[in-house]
Chain A
Amino acid sequence: MEFFKYGEDAIRIVFGNTIDHTTHTLLRRYYFFLKSLRLKGIRNIIPSFTTCLIHFDSEVTSFQHIVSTLHKRRNELESVEVPEPMLHEIPVMYGGEYGPDMEYVTSYSGLTEEEVIEIHTGTIYTVFAVGFMPGFPYLGPLDKRLYSPRLETPRLKVPEGSVGIAQLQTGIYPFESPAGWRIIGKTNIPLFDYRKPPYSLMQIGDMVQFVRI
């Protein structure tokens, strides 16, 4: 684990450089450890695949202060309570008008639509990160047979609930938004509700199983 400055008011903690479950498990524990410390002046903690970013208020605390506190209290890392991940079943309408890139994915992979759906629903995915926009789960790892490059030019708009794949990841767009991932289907399950804590259906570490409808 290494600590780097990210600009004047953020700390980038690097846990590894590949997407794997060992890195994820350690990082997730560290994220709950960070939250449990309730340090003063912390604005955001953003855990993702291989790094955890701490954004702080430089008028209240500092890089040095946070890093030394983390070292001092590192013995609490082992005892911190890490919640059980939830398993979410997500019904998806695949292909057709709901999956404008299904055709591309079948031709790129050389698989039939049936096979693509079977493979996509045949894995239980891990939520490696939630972000870029509220409630968007970065899910993986995706079966190598479904590997698809991102769009060269992102679409200006995809509807909320769109299910996409990109490289070895899959994800769901909680809001209508621009999108560079290949869209293969759509779900009607709401992923984000700003009125109801914990707001995001998915939290880091949760499990997702797609079900065809």
Chain B
Amino acid sequence: MIEIISPAWLSIIVDEGRYGYGDIGVPPSSPLDLTAYKAIGYLCGSSRSNHPVIEVMGNDFTMKIHTDMVCAITGALVNIFCDDKPVQPWTPFLVKKGSVVRVREVIEGLRYYVGFSGTMEIETIMDSFSTNIECRFGGYKGRPLMRGDRIDIKDIEERTIVPFPVDLIPRMNQPHDMRLIPGFEIDHFISDAIQRFVEKGEPLWYTISSKSNRTGIRLEGEPLIFRNGVEKSIVSEGIVLGTVQVAGDGMPIIMLSERTIGGYTRIGTIAKVDHDRLAHVKPSDRINFIPVTIDDAERLWHHKVQSLSFLYTH
């Protein structure tokens, strides 16, 4: 069992995502840094392919351990202490009954993932452990974790400690270069910036707004200007993680995994190779959109999957 002493700013249970119900509006609520999520399974040897882990934001996540097992923390680079002894992120470590694990500080990135060599005993809702915060279902009683919450760990497996290849841990600092596949309604805008972006491949840059949340990352900067006579909204339709919508005020919003349908104009989709980085953008960070063709985006993704084949091959 684990017991939450401090949930930091926001701690929620996620698994690979709630799929299969998009036709009734149920979003995936998937982990934002999929590589870090999958790394937990690799490091802790949880044999389930869709294991639940804790996605945390903020300093000072603390938990008390009531069972001997292996624990790992991936994602953002953090200072971790186990009973006041420092332990490394992206590296599994042994914890014992009575141990206190504390993430003191986030050094680089934003969200980190906490997992174990066993399965957290929580109920699945519509085939998934993931928390839908807005609709209050899934995860731990449909809500973020709070001080005093206790979660049993079952099916603990013996585990040899293997660290994650250090050179494969991504950097998460700003500026965040995000490859964007331009498309959809990008021709609804006449701004110089858009023209230079499309024609010359110049980056389109923004800063991250503090109004961002797990539904969408709001951007601030030079507003995009709508062409005369075009509608500012489209006929609502299905969207995916990484879609960049533009609200009526000309400001882009990067949609994450809490919406199935959108009705704003779109300038494109962030290439999948850069999706993990979406978990780590912080208010006032700079983000650069760099145009990429769909073919190049597919190639980049293929390379990423190959270099991380121990995580991504089924």
Contacts and interface: CB of A to CB of B under 8 A. Distances in A.
Nearest to A9: B272
Contacts of B314: 59-60
A136 B272 CA distance: 28
Contacts of B120: none
A6 B262 CA distance: 14
A59 B22 contact: no
A116 to B, nearest CB: 23
Given A44-B21, A46-B23, A53 B126 contact: no
B235 A49 contact: yes
B259 interface: yes
A46 B260 contact: yes
B25 A136 contact: yes
Contacts of B20: 43-44
Contacts of B17: 43
Interface residues of A, number: 48
A8 B297 contact: yes
A45 interface: yes
Interface in A92-146: 129-136, 138
A152 B248 contact: yes
Contacts of B27: 133-134
B204 interface: no
Contacts of A9: 240, 272
A52 B238 contact: yes
B246 interface: no
A131 B259 CA distance: 8
B71 interface: no
A53 B240 contact: yes
Interface in A5-59: 5-10, 12, 17, 19, 31, 43-53, 55, 58-59
B287 interface: no
Contacts of B238: 10, 12, 44, 46-48, 51-53, 55, 131
B135 A131 contact: no
B21 A31 contact: no
A59 B305 contact: yes
Given A8-B298, A31-B23, A46-B23, A132 B261 contact: yes
Contact of B25 (A50, A58, A132): A132
Contact of B261 (A45, A131, A135, A194): A131
A87 B115 CA distance: 46
Interface in B1-51: 17, 19-28
Contacts of A7: 181, 240, 242-243, 269-272, 294, 297
B239 A135 contact: no
A198 B23 contact: no
| Closest 4 A/B residue pairs (Cβ) | A53-B238, A44-B22, A46-B238, A131-B25
8 contacts: A46-B260, A48-B237, A50-B235, A51-B237, A53-B238, A58-B272, A175-B135, A194-B137
Given A53-B239, A194-B137, 6 more contacts: A7-B181, A53-B22, A133-B259, A133-B260, A138-B261, A152-B248
